[in-house]
Amino acid sequence: MKKSLIALAVVSAFAAPAFAATSNVDVYGALGISIEDNDSDNSDLQVTDRQSRIGFKGTEDLGGGLKAIWQIEQAISASASGQDGVGGATLANRNSFVGLSGGFGTVLMGRHDTPYKMSTGSLDIFADTVADWNVAEGFDLTTTATIGSIVGAATVISPALIDPTHDLRSAAAIAYVSPNFSGFSFAAAVVATNNPSAVSISTAGAVGAGNLNSGDNLDAYSLSGTYANGPLFLTVGYQDAKVIDSQALKIGAGYSFGDLKLGAVYENVENSLVGGVYVAANASLSISSGAGALVADRDTWLVNAAYTMGPIVLKAEYGQLDIEDLDVDKWALGADYNLSKRTNVYAVYTKTDVDGSEDVGAWALGVRHSF
């Protein structure tokens, strides 16, 4: 299921008429399973779950044009190789919130994708596949290299095209989505969890950004503005994550020429949480084990195209990422065959070239059903 703008995800998703004085409940979800392989050294053919989920949502008519809205969404794993927390122990670990909607717009509180993430979501033509711009297949989201002569030291850097530090879901968002003003809409969200333990570093050096928490009253804020009218789509997103004093700017554009859709995204991130440094204890070198965050500036640009021929959609994407002195190139080719409005099969091949590392290619054959 393709990502959509936060305004559509919140407002349109709850457009079904409500029963008077009661809360109607809709059950929805998606199952996406694929056969995948990549040509990295430790690769094996595997059956992989790609963002399967189940959800419950509803509205209640409060009168005077005001509605209460709510949603509970849970990631599920239909294979042994779940992705991005699929199958995790946390209940309602995807967008789950309660709010109010009316002529003034929509206000919600709870777990939700930030406006920054959602601003360009509709431009990710390979969403929820091995070629998703948040995925670096074959690198397990990282590349690893030894630091100097210190045994057990590792630097971990994510070569995913779009920065995973900022392109995420917040567990404690307070968000506002404006009405549509002749094609223009905007959204704003703040994160206020007062949880200082947001940054985690594993013994392998992998770094987690938590939920953008910093211990401040205002841990992070996220903004987006979008213009969608006819064939033209323009969007901009800005986000400030105080936990690592990191700021991100993202600009997206799309245009449709009949059956041909073109898209482009540019992202600039200052002090991105690109990885971590982990040093194993070594008595002969008089060092103790420890870990620290590795931050760097990132720049990304990418272009893509999708062409529809009846039930077939042909897709292509190319992007470049610069992390300080590290250069990453990534391209992907794919095709969808829509068996119905709810079910499609797809094939995709993607390749990532990271400076100083071997090129890694990955392919997938998948089926996705939405209900």
Mean pLDDT, residues 167-187: 91
Three-class secondary structure assignment of 301-350: EEEEEEEEECCEEEEEEEEEEEECCEEEEEEEEEEEEECCCCEEEEEEEE
Question: Once rounded to an integer, what is the mean pLDDT over residues 51-73?
Answer: 93
Q: For the chain, give the percent of residues with pLDDT over 90.
A: 49
Q: Which tens digits make up the pLDDT trace of 146-169?
A: 434 444 455 566 678 998 778 878
Q: Would you say residue 12 has pLDDT above 60?
A: no
**What digits encode the pLDDT tens for the residues 330-363?**
999 999 999 999 999 999 999 988 876 668 888 9
State pTM to two decimals. Answer: 0.82
Q: pLDDT of 213-256, one tens digit each?
A: 444 445 788 999 999 999 999 999 999 987 668 899 999 999 99
Would you state the pLDDT for residue 348?
Answer: 97
Provide the residue range defining the domain that includes 80.
6-370
Most confident of 99-113, 147-161, 165-179: 99-113
Q: Give DSSP secondary structure letters for 110-138.
A: EEEE-HHHHHTGGG-TTTTSTT-TT--TT
What is the SS3 assignment for 144-190?
Answer: EECCCCCCCCEEEECCCCCCCCCCCEEEEEEEEECCCECCEEEEEEE
For residue 172, being part of any structural domain is answered with yes
Q: List, for residues 78-96, the tens digit of each pLDDT value.
A: 655 444 433 444 677 889 9
Specify the pLDDT at position 284. 58
- Amino acid at residue number 55: G
pLDDT of res. 19: 39
Q: What is the pLDDT at residue 147?
A: 36
The pLDDT of residue 246 is 86
Copy the structure tokens of residue 41.
């050294």
| pLDDT tens-digit readout, 247-256 | 999 999 999 9
Mean pLDDT score of the chain, rounded to an integer?
79
Question: How much is the pLDDT for 26?
Answer: 92
- Asked, for residue 1, whether it belongs to a domain, the answer is no
For 140, residues 6+ apart whose C-beta sits below 8 A from its C-beta are none
Q: Is residue 71 part of a domain?
A: yes
Which candidate, 156, 140, 116, places its Cα nearest to that of 247?
Answer: 116
Higher-scoring residue by pLDDT: 43, 134: 134
Most confident of 192-206, 302-316, 319-333, 349-363: 302-316
- The answer as to whether 325 is a domain residue is yes
CATH code, 45: 2.40.160.10
The verdict on residue 222 lying in a domain is: yes
Nearest Cα to 113, choosing from 197, 198, 196, 175? 175
Cα–Cα distance measured from residue 355 to residue 352, given in angstroms and rounded to the nearest whole number: 10
**Residue 18, domain member (yes or no):** yes
SS3 state of residue 235? strand
Q: Where residue 56 falls among pLDDT bands split at 50, 70, 90?
A: very high
18 pLDDT band, cuts 50/70/90, is very low
* Structure confidence at residue 85 (pLDDT): 37
34-46: average pLDDT: 77
Using CB atoms within 10 Å of the CB of residue 353, give its burial: 0 to 12 exposed, 13 to 18 middle, 19+ buried: middle
| Total domains, the chain | 1
User: What is residue 1's predicted lDDT score, i.e. its pLDDT?
Assistant: 43
Residue 242's SS3 state is helix
